[in-house]
Structure 1
């Protein structure tokens, strides 16, 4: 085991203000392919059917949704996007955020009409949903440059990626990061103006790509907690870990996170050794974001990943990426809040679960020598 490097100070401004965070899972799944979303591709592993997490962030009587996921009637996206979906991925449809709120939130007293803002982390189909179902009083919040990159939409522009209806009769607000505020190395925007919820500038994947950071518990260093909403800064936790702050742990620790399928696929009781064979270093991630159309600014995307790794190193920050299958059965979902994640020990419990996605694709040779099947 390598000695972990101490994470840098994040310099999150002190505040007694918090928000309630509820993770929304509409049960929609997308097939994510290695090589397209992260690299290198791994022989024997054809990817995952991944969820799409959205977030309901509540501050007193203000309720904000961070991302809307995939609309259940995805054939009604702009024609260009429908063709893209049909050519590149498989969708296992679930419900949608509006319906989830409308049918399950009655006990909370939070209905679609109570939402004040919808935030798009970016303008890709699996995050924009169908905002037209929400009242026109609900503002749409986007990152820098998104308005010009998105509208006019379809049908005004035949090859548009979003719809004219997404902004029709609705206030669209672009956030600015010119105020000089920083969280870690991220440029930040204080959404409510009280330190309870920040939007972060996270370029690389799409124009105006945003992440979120919500203060879920106030207090000193041992009590404070935050939830980081990573959107599509990366599509698999193996892009984030291991890191110099969280190197690969011991065999004993890794054995404790194996699920039945991974354990059955192992032909020797040494998952750490097998995984070491797939790493350039015990403190370097298994993957990086792919070079290609999904990360048009690869250097910026990798820099964003490195910033997230610094937050991931902090015990007070729970990093939740939009498509992380490994946490799906481990965190409380809407209508419950995730605010008590630190007391539940969720962060340490889920940290290495992602290895179950690809560990069966690795093997031990008959002689016991580790092979990584061209992982690097």
Structure 2
């Protein structure tokens, strides 16, 4: 194994949503079911978690945690789908996680933050204040309580792209638009590269037609970031994995089996 590659990548299971496709991409229509997964990356210098899924409290009290949004999204969420339970199912303890990459500060990515008090948290710098003061059109997607509970954690807000371990194995790229601090992460495995998009895109046509989400912070920045993501993926011959797409998630699960 080369020293400049991650060792293994797991596509962890998570909650499920059902919502109108038009909420995810300009011009979309019809109902769509989508996963809310997280990803675990083992590197010689640490165990890295990409996003944290939903808050554990939503398993038993979804409306108390997310209000009417839980019902509107048709939330399906059970105890075994909590991010800490998924990490344990992969053979690790949540205490083994050394780094947590938060692709952006929406509630379905920040819910498990409090489970990792000893980790270093990486997030695009503009997303921390934006989580408390979002634009009205996107305010429903934030749960500032997730971040408030972790105010004393080790946060490393990014103001530029970051090569996490300095070896090219895990590279975090700024992709503003969906939120002002949105990021995507390129993972180099032994035999392939994988681009974890976060929410730079939500559905395949957003990549091919370069279409933003209607409630994006900046539709112009969102389109520029989609183009940047495609260019980086092309340069590294990387597989683009749309986080909330079942086909992409299942494909990554197969890639993870091969690359493990």
Q: What do residues 285-320 of structure 1 show as CA deviations (whole Å, max 9, x unaligned)?
A: 3x72233x2x12001111111222334546720111
Q: Which structure has more strand as a fraction of its residues? A: 2
Q: How far apart in 1 are the matches of 2:74 and 2:185?
A: 27
1:5 paired residue number: none
Equivalent positions of 1:205-224 (< 5 A) are: 205-217=178-190
Q: Secondary structure at the match of 2:259?
A: coil
How far off its partner does 1:100 sit?
1.1
- Supply the distance in 2 between the matched residues of 1:337 and 1:141 (Cα, whole angstroms): 27
Across the aligned residues of Structure 1 and Structure 2, the Cα RMSD in angstroms comes to 2.9
- Residue 120 of structure 1 is matched in structure 2 by 102
Structure 1 residue 332, shift from structure 2 partner: 2.6
1:201 to 166, 174, 179: 174
Shift of 1:203: 0.6
How far apart in 1 are the matches of 2:170 and 2:28? 36
Return the TM-score normalized by structure 1: 0.59
Q: In the TM superposition, what is the alpha-carbon distance from 1:62 to its structure 2 partner?
A: 0.6
Match of 1:147 in 2: 128
Q: Where in structure 2 are the equivalents of 1:71-220 lying within 5 Å?
A: 71-74=55-58, 82-83=66-67, 85-86=69-70, 88-94=72-78, 95-102=81-88, 104-106=89-91, 110-134=92-116, 136-150=117-131, 161-163=143-145, 165-177=148-160, 188-217=161-190
Q: In the alignment, what sits opposite 1:278?
A: none
Deviation at 1:21, TM superposition (A): 3.9
Aligned residues between the structures? 248
Counterpart mapping for 1:250-289 below 5 A:
285=209, 288-289=211-212
CA distance in 2, matches of 1:122, 1:297: 14
Shift of 1:330: 3.4
- Is 2:12 the counterpart of 1:25? yes
Q: Give the 3-state SS of the residue equivalent to 2:253 in structure 1.
A: coil
Return structure 1 stretches of 4+ with deviation > 6 angstroms.
75-79
Name which of 203, 211, 217 aligns with 1:296. 217
**Could you report, residue by residue, the CA deviation over 1:130-184 in whole angstroms, capped at 9, with x for unpaired residues?**
22222x22122211222333369xxxxxx9732155314311111231xxxxxxx
- Mapping of residues 308-327 of structure 1, within 5 Å: 308-313=229-234, 316-327=237-248
The structure with the largest alpha-carbon Rg is: 1
Query: Tell me, which stretches of 5 or more residues in structure 1 are unaligned?
Result: 1-14, 153-158, 178-187, 218-223, 242-284, 341-376
Alpha carbons of 1:313 and 1:146: their partners in 2 closer, same or farther (altered >3 Å)? closer
Is the counterpart of residue 225 in structure 1 residue 192 in structure 2? yes
State yes or no: 1:36 paired with 2:23: yes
Residues 305 and 70 of structure 1: CA distance in aligned 2, closer, same or farther (over 3 Å)? same
CA distance in 1 between counterparts of 2:236 and 2:19 reads 29
Tell me, in whole angstroms, the C-alpha distance in 1 between the residues paired with 2:183 and 2:176: 8
2:137 — aligned with what?
A: none
1:86 and 1:27 map into 2 onto residues whose CA distance is 15
Q: Runs of 5+ in structure 2 lacking a partner?
A: 134-139
SS at match of 1:289: coil
Structure-2 residue corresponding to 1:306: 227
Cα pair distance change 1:191/1:124, threshold 3 Å: same
Q: Are the structure 2 counterparts of residues 70 and 18 from structure 1 closer, same or farther at C-alpha, using a change threshold of 3 Å?
A: same
Q: Is the 8 A contact 2:17 2:76 kept in 1?
A: yes
Give the structure with the higher percent helix.
2
